[in-house]
Chain A
Amino acid sequence: MRSRIRNWGPGLLMVAPSIVVIAVFVYVLIGATVNESLTDRHTAAPAENYVGLENYANLLDDDRFIHSLKNLAVLTVVFVTGTLVLGVLWAFLLEKGVKGEGFFRSAYLFPMAVSFVASGVVWRWLLNSAEGEGAGGLNALFGMAGLDVLQNPWWSHPDWGMAAMAVPAIWQLSGYVMALFLAGFRGIPNELREAARVDGASEAQLYRHVLFPQLSPVALTALIIIGHMSMKMFDLIMAVSGAQYLTEVPAVYMWQALLTNDYAKAAAIAIVLLVVVAVLVVPYLIHNARTERQR
């Protein structure tokens, strides 16, 4: 027993502060939020009663919340697909050995260094929805190039507007996915390629059967990182459109509920959002832990 403590003790002491801080500022606060979401605190006054799951039931019954989930789904699907396709494509091209790889790598990765708020302000203008004579931004470019057919309302389209909202996000994070995949490609030992070629595999077969299967952990990582970023999306939307019904996602709805002193509703939205992200992230963490134990 004593020797055990001697083994564990110093290490534990070193990490204790961060354990305490995380316990308080993450888990205790999650608990407090759950607690809040079960109350009837819909004004600035303190809560009076516990109402069980009523706030959650109300949310699922709330067209506005369903609409925000729908927006989030469109945003996430387009954002994830877009970054993966572009990221893989760029990584593939660079991996084939383009001249000036260093330049392209930086150029693609660089947008990630810009904050969503800063780029959102620019994209707000680029994605200006006016068409024809009063057009600005991309629509004006299309107009100048004689491609008037391509002019569209961007994010103010009632059904597919969120797909346009994903465009700035794709622009920013494709480079990051590219970096992940490039590292993945580089991590595959050259012997494997040579062996495949010796066995007579064509270039397409080499990628299809040898290289891509090895990249599936990278793809999963990219999917999880981009996916959970998308689900928590707030800053970009606030910068491009501001808080409004058309582009509302749960995080923005939560902000609006907070601003209007509806603390119970805001807490319930926060917990739903946490659960949605957890559904994505937790299986991944479990999967990761398992594979690491196997090693």
Chain B
Amino acid sequence: MRRMSWFASVAAVALVLTACGDDDNESTTEGSGGSEEEASGEVEVFTWWTEGGEKAGLDGLVSVFSEQCSDFEFVNGAVAGGAGSNAKQVLASRLQTGEPPDTFQAHAGGELLDYINADQLEDLSGLYDEWGLSDSVSENLLDAITLDGAIYSVPANVHRANVVWANPTVLEDAGLPAEAPASVDDWLADMQTLRDNGVDAPLAIATDWTQTMLLEAVLIAELGPEAYTGLYDGSTDWASAEVPAALEKYGQMLEFANADRAGLDWPDAVNKVTAGDAAYTLMGDWAAGKLDADGLELDTDYVWWPSPGTDGVFQWLADSFVLPVGAPNRAGTECWLEVVGSEDGQREFNTAKGSIPARTDADPSDYGPYAQAAMEDWASDALAPSLAHGSAAPVGWIDAVNSAVGQFSTSGDVGALQEQLAAAAQ
């Protein structure tokens, strides 16, 4: 018996040792080999864009890449499923074992902090100057994604999160104008009017993270963009007195929202509005793509406006690409990033994906009516980051807030919500 266990443990240790040894060798040879090679070879681009407008956008980028970086070959490293959660798992394990893809997709801003703190990303600010991106990407956005003078990602696009989509027919039937209420209080009053006119749940929302978006919109409206942004860098205290007042109002809004929210995803909430069961929903501007695809017309079938009280604030989120430390084909990655940041790359990507370019020099006539309006706002509005979509804080924070908001959805306990929001910020 003793012999047996001795044998087994020796075999086990040997197995583990060989496995580890192999791994190390492989990654070092791959890493050094890649950087010494001439400017050619494959560039693995890791995303979770595998279908719909996202895939079309990626294809657009690839077409520009194959023209401008003809020495390199694009390799699609996309992992499908779970709105990116599958891909993030794969990515995490590859980064840990020192075998990163040449570049990967991530939200610009707070969501990158985990990678940055783990020294997994390289500073791109030198390349920004080389490519002239420092002048063509909007200054506010550059400020927002610069960390101690370093920039770790090249944003490919910008989406807006604080957008309310409304059904003008439902509003008119209740005697309301199809215009944005001036404040959260006015919005609440309008919802009461709608309810009095037989619309039981005037506000359509869906599962946890869409509720987080609504909470953020209320916080921006009540605190203003500066104090709101301060919630994430510590200059505004989650325990301060303005926060519970805003949370109270958020709680009142939930009372006007559909009770079956936990079982819905965002397209279901938009469908409630277009079907006339609800008057409003708050969703990022990717909803415009869905409404277009459903064959609906802006102004006749639906209207949009910045979430009440947030007019003049653009709550942004941006898909971006990065240069991981130890990327096998660094020259190729740099070429890819240059394409992502270029005017042509952003046009091909955004016209297909339905977002607006992060650059300020794009030609609006290439874009649809919603995007044109959004581009105007993008150039003039104050900016606020989005927690639910990764531009404000690291993923752990996002998850904790989604969970707190999900709990609040059934408990309605403002004190507990504030406590958990403050704890998430620790």
Interface size on B, residues (CB 8 A): 43
Excluding A23-B9, A24-B16, A244-B208, 17 further A-B contacts by CB distance (< 8 Å) are: A12-B4, A16-B8, A16-B11, A20-B12, A24-B15, A43-B117, A43-B118, A44-B95, A44-B117, A124-B263, A129-B259, A131-B260, A153-B260, A245-B407, A259-B85, A260-B396, A261-B395
Nearest-CB distance from B15 to chain A (Å)? 6
What B residues does A147 contact at CB under 8 A?
none
CB pair A20–B259 under 8 Å, yes or no, is: no
Nearest-CB distance from B277 to chain A (Å)? 7
Bound-complex Cα distance A1 to B260 (A): 72
Q: Interface of A with B (CB < 8 Å)? A: 5, 8, 12, 16, 19-20, 23-24, 28, 42-46, 63-64, 67, 124, 127-131, 134, 153, 155-156, 158, 241-242, 244-246, 248, 256-262
23 A–B pairs (Cβ distance < 8 Å), ordered by A? A16-B11, A43-B118, A43-B394, A44-B96, A44-B120, A128-B260, A129-B262, A131-B260, A134-B260, A134-B277, A153-B260, A242-B207, A244-B262, A244-B406, A245-B402, A245-B405, A245-B406, A246-B409, A256-B399, A258-B89, A259-B85, A260-B398, A260-B399
Chain B 149-192 against A: per-residue CB contact (8 Å), 1 yes, 0 no? Answer: 00000000000000000000000000000000000000000000
Bound-complex Cα distance A245 to B417 (A): 13
Complex: chain B residue closest to A265, CB-CB = B396
Bound-complex Cα distance A242 to B407 (A): 15
Bound-complex Cα distance A261 to B89 (A): 9
Bound-complex Cα distance A8 to B167 (A): 79
CB pair B396–A16 under 8 Å, yes or no, is: no
Nearest-CB distance from B259 to chain A (Å)? 7
Query: B114 near A: Cβ within 8 Å?
Result: yes
CB pair A45–B85 under 8 Å, yes or no, is: no
Bound-complex Cα distance A242 to B21 (A): 39
CB pair A246–B406 under 8 Å, yes or no, is: yes
CB pair A24–B12 under 8 Å, yes or no, is: yes
Query: B249 near A: Cβ within 8 Å?
Result: no
Nearest-CB distance from A176 to chain B (Å)? 28
Known: A16-B11, A259-B89, A261-B395. A241 touches B118 (CB 8 A): no
CB pair B263–A241 under 8 Å, yes or no, is: yes
CB pair B8–A20 under 8 Å, yes or no, is: yes
Known: A44-B92, A128-B263, A130-B260. A261 touches B114 (CB 8 A): yes
Bound-complex Cα distance A5 to B10 (A): 19
Nearest-CB distance from A144 to chain B (Å)? 18
What B residues does A158 contact at CB under 8 A?
410-411
Bound-complex Cα distance A236 to B140 (A): 44
